[in-house]
Structure 1
Amino acid sequence: MRSASGLLVVVASATVYLYLLTTFLPPGPRHGGRDEGEASARSGEELRLKFPSDLHELRELAELLKFYKTEHTGYVFVLFCSAYLYKQSFAIPGSSFLNMLAGALFGPWHGLLIACFLTTVGSTFCYLLSWTYGRRHIVRLFPEKVAKLQSMAEENRSSLFFFLLFLRFFPMTPNWFLNITSPILNIPMSVFFFSVLIGLIPYNFICVHTGSILSEISSLDDIFSWRTLLQLLLIACAALLPGALIRRYSKSHLNLDGLEPNGQDISDRKTR
């Protein structure tokens, strides 16, 4: 009971902090005349800060934050980092939209560095929260999945780092589930930290660069330009290369028998 109440206190405190950060916005910058300032103020009122759930909301949020970023760069950076860490720490889906937002706000390369850092730190916070408060509850809620993943982790203990990289590169189990179960699997924090940092680079790379390209597209014709197509091709090649190397390594060094995409067991699939 103490662990559940402690987790609730942490979640509530982080939620209040993020709410206050998004509620007390700094005054918007004034670039033009009165009409433009009033239009910007109305835009800020209509576009309340919230986590985007689709591309339309993502584009609107990016435009609003770019508006504030012209004079409040520090505020936008702190807000983005806080929102990202909130999602990662409490295993809330939707990191792809925040990665694309990083590309739109900070550019492809700075956005990638920020996304990789926040992904790793947020996942480590999730690891610590699970280790401190949630191990017993996770085993109770997902007994079969935890047992299967624990068995495979033990079988690949000699190549644990590459086993974790494989799980990060390919959707064999959701990232949020791997974050909360890693303490139960007796994965050292240092191994966990670097497996997240390296293993999610391709995913972050695709999302961030997609966000930076989307911010440059003003019409459908721009999507089929040679420049955009070349960028997408380079992104795909860069993201697929490390995954191909890990897959080749896994075939000869890792024991992955029985593991299906999304963490399904072969035996489970046959019984359905």
Structure 2
Amino acid sequence: MRSLIGLAVVVTAATLYLYYLSLYLPAGPRRHPQPCPEGRESQQSCDTSGELRRLKFPSDLEELRELSELLQFYKTEHTAYVLLLFCSAYLYKQSFAIPGSSFLNILAGAIFGPYLGLLLACVLTTVGSTMCYLLSQAFGKQHIINLFPEKVSMLQKKVEDNRDCLFFFLLFLRFFPMTPNWFLNMSAPIVNIPIVYFFFSVFIGLLPYNFICVQTGAMLSEVSSLDDLFSWEHLLQLLAIACVALVPGALIRRLSQRRLKLAVQSQNGLDSDKKVQ
């Protein structure tokens, strides 16, 4: 019971912090008023000023583009605020295992560019996942075991089987997730994965995934409409990005055939006795 209360306090405090940070936006730079579409009664009714929009996590590509435009608009005069808001939102999602970090990776590329965006995505993914690890270690061990007994048991067996090459095994799990990343973050302290191994395996193992998302976001910021994204030029760029990101995974998979003990999962999610040869 104490663990649930402690976790609730942490979640509540983090939520209130993020809410008030997003609520009290600084005064944005002036922008020229947009002409009213036909059929609108007043200019005020069609005001598209970013200051009047409420910030929220994007749930689709259109919302992502709108949020990207708004934050880029604010970034011209409030770079520190936009950086703080983005980092806070990212860590909030990662720490509490909330889906949707891929949208924030894309947003990083759109707002901060391909290089700074990639650095931010890698660092925030690693720090946020480590915070999730620590929260699970402090508050959630028994609850996770009760909620996912079979998954925890399976992961524990795999970790023990590959204890002599544990870091390499963790890299494999990040490149080719046999279990969702959010579950691996929460269950890592339960199955006795050292935090140092965990930290660096997240940073390195999710680098290709972050690279794809950030580069995609940088491309989105350069196109004027979604139709432009499907031009041959941009499709070839996406293909090149995917090929570059897949190279480390191909090397890891080749090496894993020699070193790791991995059971092939059947369609119903249970382990079979067949090993990777």
TM above 0.5 = yes
What residue number does 1:58 align with?
A: 64
Q: Give the Cα separation in 1 of the matches to 2:135 and 2:260.
A: 29
Deviations 1:10-55 (A, max 9, x none): 0000000000001111011114479899799743355310000000
Q: Give the Cα separation in 2 of the matches to 1:236 and 1:160.
A: 27
Q: Give the Cα separation in 2 of the matches to 1:34 and 1:228.
A: 30
Identify which of 188, 202, 210 aligns with 2:208: 202
What SS does structure 1 have at the residue aligned with 2:119? helix
Quick one: higher RCO (CA 8 Å, sep 6+), 1 or 2? 1
Kept after mapping to 2: 8 A contact 1:156/1:163: yes
Identity %: 68
Q: How much does 1:207 deviate? A: 0.6
Identify which of 79, 91, 96 aligns with 1:90: 96
What residue number does 1:180 align with?
A: 186
Tell me if 1:17 matches 2:26: no
Q: Give the Cα separation in 2 of the matches to 1:10 and 1:46.
A: 30
Identify which of 99, 111, 122 aligns with 2:128: 122
Q: 1:213 to 1:207 in 2, by over 3 A?
A: same
Tell me if 1:231 matches 2:237: yes
What residue number does 2:169 align with?
A: 163
Q: How much does 1:226 deviate? A: 4.9
Kept after mapping to 2: 8 A contact 1:172/1:260: no
Q: 1:223 to 1:188 in 2, by over 3 A?
A: same
Q: 1:247 to 1:260 in 2, by over 3 A?
A: farther
Kept after mapping to 2: 8 A contact 1:28/1:41: no
Q: How much does 1:237 deviate? A: 1.2
Tell me if 1:264 matches 2:266: no
Tell me if 1:48 matches 2:88: no
Kept after mapping to 1: 8 A contact 2:25/2:51: no
What residue number does 2:40 align with?
A: none
Q: Give the Cα separation in 2 of the matches to 1:264 and 1:59.
A: 37
Kept after mapping to 1: 8 A contact 2:106/2:214: yes
Q: Give the Cα separation in 2 of the matches to 1:178 and 1:30.
A: 45
Q: What is the letter of the counterpart of residue 159 of structure 2?
A: A
Q: 1:15 to 1:9 in 2, by over 3 A?
A: same
Q: What is the letter of the counterpart of residue 26 of structure 1?
A: P
Tell me if 1:249 matches 2:277: no
Q: Give the Cα separation in 1 of the matches to 2:104 and 2:246.
A: 21
Tell me if 1:99 matches 2:127: no
Deviates further, 213-222 or 64-73: 213-222
Q: Give the Cα separation in 1 of the matches to 2:170 and 2:34.
A: 56
What residue number does 1:270 align with?
A: none
Q: For structure 1, which runs of at least 5 residues remain unmatched after alignment?
A: 268-272
What SS does structure 2 have at the residue aligned with 1:134? helix
* Aligned Cα root-mean-square deviation (Å): 2.3
Kept after mapping to 1: 8 A contact 2:106/2:216: yes
What SS does structure 2 have at the residue aligned with 1:107? helix
Identify which of 76, 82, 85 aligns with 1:76: 82
Q: Give the Cα separation in 2 of the matches to 1:218 and 1:260.
A: 45
